[in-house]
Chain A
């Protein structure tokens, strides 16, 4: 994917959360957004995912600029996948039904086709034994992997993941990170917000450091992590990578 953001501003009431944020990536498979809490990463990701409409500015993926009306944005959302920090699976449905729902109701597969489509991914990620359980009966790691699968089974153009491991116990982060790393191998593009710096450095083609609603540093992973000229960015990494 190639992502161009121009003067993106988002205000809630009187607070300006994103302030003329601009970025232009090269042709990348993955982009990591890092930076301090409250810097605007989630706000940015929600706009990229078509969930929120910015106050002003434009987002362009591969030459196509996101529309500003709900109908077109919904059509856009059907072509991408979003994974939230707190999974947000549907608690009244089993894991399998969570995967099937978008296939049947959005992508117009028959129920049988949908069941067939989710079977292989469920096995591949060792989730088929748990497929009939409800989210409350699954671990955090299993929930998040189901949530990633739910976004994947519709074969999206790209995925947006907002701190997918931040709500997990440490022993469960590995299984989710492995799965995300697998995305890279399968050629699925993604934009990832994360605090797992070593992971970001390993999987992301480019990294953007977001702070105070703007891009403080951006480039290939090594350049952002190691040679940042911005003193705030350097100070942040010194803290988290210590």
Chain B
């Protein structure tokens, strides 16, 4: 199934959900209550956008560095990377956020919850990115490295000009998927009282008792972040693609 078709279905599903909701419960429908709190949705959405963008950039960087660790010749460096990945992947993000904020950040005197939240989210996502990048780097045939050495490139040039560009093209869909997860996972930052999108929507719900009216915009707001991301990835994939 083509992904543009998939996007169409998503859009249709959301629209029909909205329409259905409007017609099914006409008496109880209460948009005006929620409308009064529109500023809360907007500010929450912006916080989520900002957090996600920062964590996104950071997690790609962490992912790349840890991927290099995982492939290191030095067994100590490799083990360090492996331990990091296993600890992060073996514990829930929720627990990492609580520990990160109430224990680690507290101990080092880091008080800004936005910074801590972004760091934990990036560290979390970075572990998954690392595995994805590692897979991509491993998939580049050894002969490419040979070829790069033969023309006299340094190890770093070989990585930067030959291996990485090929690996990135290979893992782009998986990376895009991980970024979508990151955006959705950012909703958990509400547990350390960051006024992001989900927390604000829940607050509006508790003020207005309009559950559907509070949470439908929430779903749409997240889709507004994730759909452009997968569309961009699809476009990049197409313009990068080449047969091997």
Give chain A's interface residues, CB within 8 Å of chain B: 49, 51, 74-75, 77-78, 81-82, 84, 86, 88-92, 101-102, 105-106, 134, 136-137, 150-151, 154
Contact = CB atoms under 8 A, between A and B. Distances in A.
Nearest to A104: B161
B22 interface: no
Given A77-B152, A102-B152, A136-B242, A88 B147 contact: yes
Nearest to A76: B152
A137 B152 CA distance: 26
Interface residues of B, number: 21
A51 B149 contact: yes
B150 to A, nearest CB: 4
Contact of B166 (A51, A86, A92): A92
Interface string B149-178: 111111001000110011001000000000
Contacts of B243: 91, 134, 136-137
B193 to A, nearest CB: 46
A140 to B, nearest CB: 14
Of A77, A78, A90, the most chain B CB neighbours within 10 A belong to A90
Given A91-B242, A91-B244, A134-B242, A105 B149 contact: no
B143 A77 contact: no
Given A91-B166, A134-B242, 14 more contacts: A51-B146, A51-B149, A75-B152, A88-B146, A90-B144, A90-B162, A92-B169, A101-B151, A105-B153, A134-B243, A136-B243, A136-B244, A151-B151, A154-B151
Interface string B129-156: 0000000000000011011111111100
Nearest to A137: B243
A81 B162 CA distance: 18
A150 B165 contact: no
A188 B221 CA distance: 65
Q: Name B's interface SS.
A: helix
Contacts of B244: 91, 136
Contacts of A77: 149-152
Given A51-B146, A84-B147, A89-B147, A74 B154 contact: yes
Nearest to A106: B152
B152 A78 contact: yes
A173 to B, nearest CB: 21
A136 B242 CA distance: 7
Contacts of B146: 51, 84, 88
B166 A106 contact: no
Most chain A Cβ neighbours within 10 Å, of B147, B148, B169: B147
Contacts of A151: 150-151
A161 B244 CA distance: 23
10 tightest A-B contacts by CB? A78-B152, A136-B243, A88-B147, A82-B150, A102-B151, A106-B152, A88-B143, A77-B152, A134-B242, A92-B165
Nearest to A160: B150
29 contacts: A49-B150, A51-B149, A74-B152, A75-B152, A77-B149, A77-B150, A77-B152, A81-B150, A81-B151, A84-B143, A86-B143, A88-B144, A88-B146, A88-B150, A90-B147, A90-B148, A90-B162, A90-B166, A91-B242, A91-B244, A92-B169, A101-B161, A102-B152, A105-B157, A106-B151, A106-B153, A134-B243, A137-B243, A154-B151
A77 B152 CA distance: 5
A216 B148 CA distance: 33
